């Protein structure tokens, strides 16, 4: 258990994350901070009033300033605009870079020891902005994408195979975009390689659906993007860190030679514990998977090179 967790934003992903987080009681206080007056206060109070029914004692506070967030153990950045139909995550670049920069400056000033989990899109590049502005070491700036993309992949496989989601072990690496890399060679169903259970064309269709998993939801919602599964994914990362679980989860991390990649944020298998990113597992990939991972990292690097993170 930790003392304080801040969720920056009081929108769809943020409010759902705060609610799930408080219910899990991994912290004494959850602070939601947003620029819109009244929204974080109102949502925070509403959520706190669910506490006697849901049975949790983590206090939830909503605010427009950073005083209440001071000395947070963890900060989850979900501030920014979300996609609408026809938009790619990269279309959000300039607006969200400005927002994440402003947020990162506040975090650096008020919670200099925090571990930061970035959720805002385009994810990997927003991690870069947060790392550049805070100056925090890579152990304390980690991106949420792979846990969500993997959950989508696992959920589609469970439906197709008609088995429990719990029995599907898998990992999706790479950047959080159309070039993400679901690792078929590491996908098992209770230890059975998935290729023994599903025909190649069906597997390829699921991989494709996973890559477009976010867009599928955006096309339904029309006014925004997914938030139930994204908030679950952020909360799983918080739990791994707050409880020092040393879980191995696919997260976006600042690579320094792992997988032959350097100076880029990209989704890789990470060990998460109380210090944040406690290790990167440099696993063997097939030639095709490695080529896909390099391509995906190059796509992130191209956007990273043009973003204003100064």
Ligand X SMILES: NC(=O)c1ccc[n+]([C@@H]2O[C@H](COP(=O)([O-])OP(=O)(O)OC[C@H]3O[C@@H](n4cnc5c(N)ncnc54)[C@H](O)[C@@H]3O)[C@@H](O)[C@H]2O)c1
| Location of structure tokens 């979300």 | 82
Smallest distance, Å, CB 96 to ligand X? Answer: 5
- Is residue 230 close enough to count as binding ligand X by CB under 6 A? yes
| Closer Cβ to ligand X, 131 or 194, answer by number | 131
Candidate list 2, 60, 75, 103; residue touching ligand X; CB under 6 A: 103
190's tokens: 């209770």
How long, in residues, is the chain? 310
Cα 301 to Cα 39, 58, 140, distances in angstroms? 35, 39, 20
- Is residue 94 close enough to count as binding ligand X by CB under 6 A? no
Site map (CB under 6 A) of ligand X, residues 31-50, x = contact? --xxxx--------------
Candidate list 56, 136, 186, 227; residue touching ligand X; CB under 6 A: 227
Contact 118, 147 (CB under 8 A): no
Q: Which residues are catalytic?
A: 176
Question: Would you give the end-to-end CA distance of the chain in angstroms?
Answer: 35
Site map (CB under 6 A) of ligand X, residues 115-154, x = contact? ----xxx-x--------------------xx--x------
Smallest distance, Å, CB 212 to ligand X? Answer: 14
Chain residues 239-268 in contact with ligand X, contact rule CB under 6 A: none
| Closer Cβ to ligand X, 198 or 210, answer by number | 210
Cα 172 to Cα 19, 51, 145, distances in angstroms? 26, 35, 9
Write the DSSP string, 158-172.
Answer: HHHHTS-GGGEE--E
- Is residue 90 close enough to count as binding ligand X by CB under 6 A? no
| Closer Cβ to ligand X, 88 or 188, answer by number | 88
Q: How far apart are CA 65 and CA 37, in angstroms?
A: 10
Candidate list 76, 170, 173, 226; residue touching ligand X; CB under 6 A: 226
267's tokens: 């989704």
Candidate list 2, 7, 8, 18; residue touching ligand X; CB under 6 A: 8
| Closer Cβ to ligand X, 152 or 189, answer by number | 152
| Closer Cβ to ligand X, 16 or 58, answer by number | 16
Q: How far apart are CA 126 and CA 81, in angstroms?
A: 12
CB contact burial 170-205 (16+ within 10 A = b; e otherwise): bbbbbbbbbbbbbbbebbbbeeeebeebbeeeebee
Residues that bind ligand X (CB under 6 A): 8-14, 33-36, 78-83, 92, 96, 99, 102-103, 119-121, 123, 144-145, 148, 176, 224-227, 230
């Amino acid at each position: 258990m930790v003392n304080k967790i801040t969720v920056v934003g009081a929108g769809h992903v943020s409010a759902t994350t705060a609610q799930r987080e408080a219910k899990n009681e991994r912290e004494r206080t959850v602070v939601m901070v947003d620029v819109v007056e009244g929204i974080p206060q109102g949502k925070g109070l509403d959520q706190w009033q669910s506490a006697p029914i849901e049975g949790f004692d983590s206090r939830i506070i909503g605010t427009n300033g950073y005083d209440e967030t001071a000395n947070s153990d963890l900060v989850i950045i979900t501030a920014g605009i979300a996609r609408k139909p026809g938009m790619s995550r990269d279309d959000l670049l300039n607006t969200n870079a400005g927002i994440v920069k402003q947020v990162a400056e506040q975090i650096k000033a008020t919670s200099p020891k925090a571990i930061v989990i970035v959720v805002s899109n385009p994810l990997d590049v927003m991690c870069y902005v947060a790392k550049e502005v805070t100056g925090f070491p890579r152990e304390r700036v980690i991106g949420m994408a792979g846990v969500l993309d993997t959950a989508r992949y696992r959920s589609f496989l469970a439906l197709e195979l008609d088995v429990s989601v719990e029995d599907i072990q898998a990992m999706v690496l790479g950047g959080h975009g159309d070039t993400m890399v679901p690792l078929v060679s590491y996908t098992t169903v209770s230890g059975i390689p998935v290729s023994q259970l599903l025909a190649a064309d069906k597997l390829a269709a699921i991989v494709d659906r996973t890559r477009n998993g976010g867009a599928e939801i955006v096309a339904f919602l029309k006014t925004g993007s997914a938030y139930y599964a994204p908030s679950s994914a952020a909360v799983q990362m918080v739990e791994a860190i707050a409880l020092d679980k040393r879980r191995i989860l696919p997260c976006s991390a600042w690579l320094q030679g792992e997988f032959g990649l350097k100076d880029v944020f990209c989704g890789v298998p990470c060990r998460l514990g109380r210090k944040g990113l406690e290790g990167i597992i440099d696993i063997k990939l097939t030639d095709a998977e490695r080529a896909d991972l390099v391509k995906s990292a190059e796509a992130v690097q191209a956007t990273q090179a043009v973003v204003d993170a100064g």
